[in-house]
Structure 1
């Protein structure tokens, strides 16, 4: 019997006869298309697609996935167009083949940007139809199994890409068997010597452990029989790459890792899992804090099991996993287990809602990411989840990666909740937004209508969703604020020519936009607001754009003073301009101080005190510096730095802090230096509303006993 007939015969165990015929037809089509082509090993090329289909059939995948497996290299290697596959096998199969072909063209080379672009394509293909990635994973697995025919350099490159990309994706989809085989094959190809050494050591240790392992296994089996519980006890081998990672990551010796004996107990139903747990805990003492219940709270990829560690005979640690047959199948095959499809729409069984949710979040990350490198950074975080389980106030459980903060939690609940988050309660007490969360905590997010994300959050959030949404919001906010500032700057210059932006004819604006290589006026205004273009230069171009300006007006434009705003109407600062207007840390200007603005390319306007030493070299650049004034309705808190010299006496620092608080100012930073045994120097960074508020504060500090001198620090 030919290879395809043997394969078709096996498919009959779970597919309908007409479905088996369609798979057979796809094989013959591929055989004809690849006629004359061979693999590096010298075998006919069609043996590869057949082997890929075998891997998927072992997972009981549907007939369309098997057809796509047979045809997955046809578009790329034989020149047969996608349209021909649509005509022969229908849209769904052709789309799957096309998706796999696009993934096959991906090369994960050294260029980070190219690798990120390719990974992005892969994630999007997964999100459209998860079967694309399953066919691709099976294709990669067969290639890994037959790596021997390739040159060492290529073997290492493919192995690296498998360990970095494909193994984590298989793990994230719950496909443990596949992920483990990827890791061991990748490890063997990447580090052949290390792999051999560990393999040899494992074989040797296995021989020494055999007797004790059998005794433990017999005692566990006997324990179940005594309790009248049905269950199958199996020894569980640690795979080579897992041992290597533990040796490297946890800095453990090989003997420490091999001293742990691992077993799996498979039972009939979830209820029996807990009864078996009770039985083994009465047989051997459990390690405190080493019990995990993934049945009540499954992992993000759907994995379910009970995990416990026991003190076995002679004090050896025994790791035990207890699960049902169904959980075992799901643990090994993940998303591919219990694949169900309906006649009209190919859908994933309800067991895989978690995976659907993850794929949906992948799409959301892609839409919000600024570029592919940012996207891959975010997705890779989500590919390696060591989870914590957090409760909402209503008792709903949410899984988050270990190290997540309340801000990560807020974005996991909903993007709008994250964007408007201002504070949180952890177990009913107010807690910092940057505090890492622990499993079992109940988190309540406090929101406010006008709140917005804080750029500082990016320094502590760890989930891709939080990071990408904060960046997306800030980017959008910065863009709209730079447009508003750019419009104010441009209008201010145009006012000095007795006109306004609204008075400039549209054809003139279009001509200037064309010269600048831009499509929209907003982009030009944003560039001005960010300091990338000078408002005065743009104004001159707008006024002279059509060449139809009167001679006297042209002279006025050419002879006009610079754009320093030294005329009658300097630009007024309100304090609410946002991210594109910042206050220089060298001189800390506050309302009431004479100020100038310096346009810094890409950053917007930086405001300095008029006499700031750091502006000495920039003053000649009249296009970039401009005189400013404070708006009469200026609002906000502004940083100021004070140096206080005081006599060294008990409780004086506390009195100083109290005095500042009473004066309605807040302390950002305080540091104390002892000049000698009698005098202390206190450096304060505080927030005030304006110069009047500062003078009231200084007056209050001066009234304290022991205060000798107060200086406001500038530069």
Structure 2
């Protein structure tokens, strides 16, 4: 109950006798609802006021003023009654004694679910504030998947908190403002809610950089008289020509916000005076054909700037935004930005998913913004299932909220949007996780390109797959989408675990064979006792630990055999076991030392390293002498007869120092079917250059072929393996 106000309970629940001004203001904004629905809002306020009785905000106002203000923000967007009721009650589950069941009984299951979706998780369950926020965000997205109205309430809640940020301490203000600019404003943009996005950005900028915000706002307000006069002239000329063409239109002049100007100045390294397109115009017409008609009229009044036209009607943005964008060369040499769209496009551009409840075509079918929002959330949910933690998931979401996008075509002509700098591999994962996992290359506009190739708008992309292909750790270095990154990490963990189990099995078996036993011959009860004593849920976990160097196979074998029945004569003869043979499929748990880069055909040894598994060195490697001091960590290892895969090796090639030589050497290496991973100049003078080539080969014979081909070149003075 609100302090100072009397209340009485009715059969329907608590009621408050006098209605304060803030509630009446919210009801006026919700004037589009019918009487029964407005009565429902009054009941929700009465229940909320009693539940929040005695609670106050940092500003000293009764707490109930906040959820009512959140509902007013939404009422101005003309959302439905259930969303407004949930907004008024959105903090009751977290901050009061009201339960989900009580809400459901009084206002229905839908309202109770919406309130639950917005409710934050208890911070006591987490290590720190950052993890609590990430887990809370994951929960909110799960609720969004069930009902998009959850995010409407959350954004309105954040908007009102930003409007009343002044009552908080400076460190809280900065933290909340940074979170708003990093996550909530981009979410509003992703959902097409430009009005909410613009205010969140402006308030966030003001809280983070108050001085910069004030200076920019003053500069925008005191634009030179000549600029204002030229804008009036442009507006008059555009209006005159549009009217002569018989177009019904609405012409709106607009001013860029301090945040967008600040971002442009910072990203392009410009001063305020150089950011000339501070002003622009929006032309709103009745239909799509009239948009293109109006575009022709505008271009006949002022010449368009080359390369600055964008057609978001034919190719909408990922959030459903549609409009024609053009930049005109206006009087006094200043560019004028013009947007042309229909009334429906304008509504969706301003309100995004919230426009669904305002603009209906005689049905409840979702609009394009809602369809795209659902698709985006479905992709996020797919990635969150594979993400290792809430923090990793939140980082992936931040990546996906990048505002700049490229628009690409599938082979069937469908349009896909990806973040700026997305690669062919990002495209493959956007098509389907399985396509990404088995991708080997791509065709971009019919040209064969590697997976790391960055894509540009308008390109047609086709992914080439192979069943034998699997994700590689290097892929994480060039993908930019959260979906791709999560899928690659998930698959690598899966591959590494399987590889580790197989290698661990071979290593333990070999250690047991040296003591004339094997895993198959060990009694099941004995193995189960060992696993239980060392807290392994199953044998696979022990084998993976052995492969990763966390347990030594010889020690495990000794402990197991210590309790095992002895041979008839009481002895356990020791005989040498076979080498562990590398097949090329153990990349997750066997690594090849960078100091000597072993390849199939080299004589090798293995060294068991905690956490890394077996590290393979060439026997002649300089570091091997040091490792011989720990014989218990040696692993007898060799190459399988049918070893497969590509292996890194480095060559030092001395060449004549003149133009074109590098290309000749690269061509010779390519003709030997070897890939070049890197090129680095080691030494260079006027006549000779020593270059390190990092290449991939299949085995020692393949390497010798590469060396032979390069030595034949007249410009090459010498080739040496590093």
TM-score by length of 2: 0.88
Counterpart CA distance in 2 for 1:709 and 1:47 is 81
Tell me: CA distance 1:291–1:157, structure 2 relative to 1, closer, same or farther (3 Å). Answer: same
114 and 619 in structure 1: CA distance in 2 versus 1, 3 angstrom threshold: farther
1:187-229 Cα offsets, whole Å, 9 max, x none, are 2222222222222222111756332221111111111111111
Q: Distance in 1 between matches of 2:570 and 2:460?
A: 69
- Residue equivalent to 1:364: 382
| Structure 1 unaligned regions, length at least 5 | 561-565
- Does residue 521 of structure 2 align to residue 512 of structure 1? no
Aligned match of 1:618 in 627, 632, 656? 627
**Partner residue in 1 for 2:411:** 393
Give the whole-Å Cα distance in 2 for the aligned partners of 1:426 and 1:516: 53
Structure 1 residue 579 corresponds to structure 2 residue 597: no
1:415 and 1:341, CA in 2 relative to 1: closer, same or farther beyond 3 A?
farther
| Correspondence 1:548-587 to 2 at 5 A | 549-550=565-566, 556=572, 567-587=576-596
For residues 175 and 706 of structure 2, the distance between their equivalents in structure 1, rounded to whole angstroms, comes to 65
State the distance in 1 between where 2:660 and 2:119 align. Answer: 74
Alpha-carbon distance between aligned partners in 2 of 1:317 and 1:699, rounded to the nearest angstrom = 61
How large is the Cα RMSD of the aligned pairs? 3.4
Q: Equivalent residues in 2 for 1:206-605 (5 A)?
A: 209-258=227-276, 260-339=278-357, 348-349=366-367, 351-544=369-562, 547=563, 549-550=565-566, 556=572, 567-605=576-614
Residues 124-171 of structure 1: CA deviation (Å, up to 9, x unaligned): 332332212211211222222222333333333322222222211111
Secondary structure at the aligned position of 2:255 is classed as: coil
3-state SS, counterpart of residue 378 of structure 1: helix
Q: Distance in 2 between matches of 1:467 and 1:33?
A: 44
Question: Counterparts of 1:574 and 1:106 in 2: how far apart (Å)?
Answer: 49
Question: In the alignment, what sits opposite 2:139?
Answer: 121
Per-residue deviation, residues 242-292 of structure 1 (Å, max 9, x unmatched):
222222222221122255431111111222111100000000000011011
8 Å Cα contact 1:293-1:307 kept in structure 2: yes
Task: Say whether residues 1:11 and 2:30 are aligned partners.
Answer: yes
Q: Which residue of 2 aligns with 1:70?
A: 88
Specify whether residues 211 and 115 from structure 1 end up closer, same or farther in structure 2 by C-alpha distance, changes over 3 A only. same
Query: How much has 1:619 moved relative to structure 2?
Result: 1.0
The verdict on how the C-alpha distance between 1:587 and 1:43 changes in structure 2, with shifts beyond 3 A counting, is closer
Q: 1:248 aligns to what SS in structure 2?
A: helix
Residue-pair matches, total: 701
Query: 1:107 and 1:270, CA in 2 relative to 1: closer, same or farther beyond 3 A?
Result: farther
Change (3 A) 1:212 1:599: same
Distance in 2 separating the partners of 1:272 and 1:368 = 47
Contact 1:261–1:316 (CA under 8 A) maintained in structure 2 = no
What CA distance in whole angstroms lies between the structure 2 residues aligned with 1:126 and 1:495? 57
Deviation at 1:5, TM superposition (A): 5.5
Q: Deviations over 1:564-598 (max 9, x none)?
A: xx924222222332322222232233333322111
CA contact (8 A) 1:404 1:463 kept: yes
Kindly indicate whether the alpha-carbon contact (under 8 Å) linking 1:341 and 1:348 is maintained by their aligned counterparts in 2: no
Structure 2 residue runs without a partner (length 5+): 1-17
Following the alignment from structure 2 to structure 1, what is the Cα–Cα distance between the partners of residues 617 and 511? 21
2:167 alignment partner, one of 133, 149, 153: 149
How far apart are residue 25 of structure 1 and its match? 1.6
Q: Deviations over 1:354-375 (max 9, x none)?
A: 0000000110111121222321
Partner of 2:52: 34
8 Å contact kept, 2:217–2:258: yes
Are positions 1:627 and 2:636 aligned together?
Answer: yes
Mapping for residues 71-150 of structure 1, pairs under 5 Å:
71-102=89-120, 112-150=130-168
SS at match of 1:461: coil
Q: Equivalent residue of 1:44, what SS? A: coil
Q: Does 1:169 align with 2:178?
A: no
In 2, the alpha carbon distance for the partners of 1:30 and 1:647 equals 83
Question: What does the per-residue CA deviation read over 1:676-708, in whole Å, with 9 as the maximum and x for residues that have no partner?
Answer: 888876755555544455567767777888988
Q: Which residue of 2 aligns with 1:563?
A: none
Q: 1:319 to 1:422 in 2, by over 3 A?
A: same
SS in 1 for 2:411: coil
**Residue range with higher mean Cα deviation, 30-39 or 211-220:** 30-39
Q: What's the secondary structure of 1:363's corresponding residue?
A: helix
Name 2:11's counterpart in structure 1.
none
Q: Is this contact kept in 2: 1:453–1:470, CA < 8 A?
A: yes
Seen in structure 2, the aligned counterparts of structure 1 residues 688 and 95 have a Cα distance that, compared at 3 Å, is closer
Q: Is the 8 A contact 1:127 1:362 kept in 2?
A: no
The alpha-carbon distance between structure 1 residues 624 and 312, as it changes in their structure 2 partners (threshold 3 A), is same
Alpha carbons of 1:701 and 1:69: their partners in 2 closer, same or farther (altered >3 Å)? closer
Q: Report the alpha carbon displacement of residue 333 of structure 1 after superposing the two structures with TM.
A: 1.0
CA contact (8 A) 2:516 2:572 kept: no
